[in-house]
Amino acid sequence: MKSEIIKLETPQNWQAYQLIDSGGFEKLEKFGNYILRRPEPQAAWDKSLSDLEWQNQAHAYFKKDKGSQEKGEWILKKGMVERWYMPYKTQSLDLSFKLALSSFKHVGVFPEQATNWDFIAQKVKQLPVKNPKVLNLFAYTGGASIAAKQAGADVTHVDSIKQVISWSRENMEASSLENIRWVVEDAMKFVKREAKRGNIYQGIILDPPAYGRGPDGEKWVLEEQINEMLKTVAQILDKENYFLILNMYSMGFSSLIVENLVKCSFSQTQNHEFGELYLNDITNKKLPLGVFYRFASI
């Protein structure tokens, strides 16, 4: 019986980012010139550095509002800025991201996703299609979109929040790119309409949240709707030249659940790989940050 290997994958090319330490349900990270301290619900183990070292190193830390798991405020040391840029450079990608301190602890980039950007750039260049059409759903600030665009794709970027689309546009412009198609819409509505119209994409990227709202109040609940989403996406993915990435950060979903979901909707595809994305801190503790499933025709 053929066995399948669940991959553990971490970015190899970050020069501007480092996970310094993790533990005590927090993480200490370097983004370019600045070090941030913020909550991390997966980091259930002990910290390696002392509390004093964390305090001394951090330029800013995130303080959660009472009774909230996500919302709060950043406490800044003197000299800390609220917005700055950080590069991501490899042999095939030269991207720039605007970072900002949001009230939901996020800064505008998920560093573990760099491994998916590398995959996207590789597959866009390998597909025997000029300017392959790539659809990025739940696209947030557009790391995957600008990676695909820089590799030569015709990119459609879908997100339900106008402010996030504006942020994505700034990342595109900072990376000296242009002509990404921006769509402010509920992702499920969009793919259903594309399926009705018979539109086809060579690459599809999905990074759905656990919960979300569309621009008209449409409700998204991951466990209730991801199966329908994948079945609809299967109708608009090219049958001959294709790649797909599904990435999910939800503590209730394992890579095996994701494997089953994908195989139920996409039965005749090739080169499957799935597993967990993680980041290594300086003492080699591995911080899990989502599960992924990828496949491609080449």
Residue 57, token pair as written in the block: 């190193």
Q: How long is the chain? A: 298
What is the per-residue pLDDT for 2? 46
Strand partners of residue 22: 27
Q: Record the pTM.
A: 0.94
Per run of 10 residues, the mean pLDDT along the chain (length 298 residues) is 72 96 98 97 96 98 85 95 96 96 93 97 97 97 97 97 95 98 96 97 95 86 93 97 92 85 89 94 95 95
Give the per-residue pLDDT at 31. 98
- The predicted structure's pLDDT at residue 127: 97
- Is 105 in contact with 62 (CB distance < 8 Å)? yes
pLDDT of residue 3: 47
Domain locations in the chain? 110-296
| Tally of CA atoms within 13 A in the half-sphere of 229 that contains its CB | 23
Those residues whose C-beta lies under 8 Å from the C-beta of residue 51, and which sit 6 or more positions away, are: none
Element (H, E) at 123: helix 114-126
Judging by beta carbons within 10 Å of its beta carbon (0-12, 13-18, 19+), is residue 198 exposed, middle or buried?
Answer: exposed
Calpha distance 36→120 (Å, rounded): 28
CB atoms near residue 251 (< 10 Å): 10
Report the CATH superfamily, name and number, of domain 110-296: Vaccinia Virus protein VP39 (3.40.50.150)
Residue 265 CB burial class (10 angstroms; 0-12, 13-18, ≥19): buried
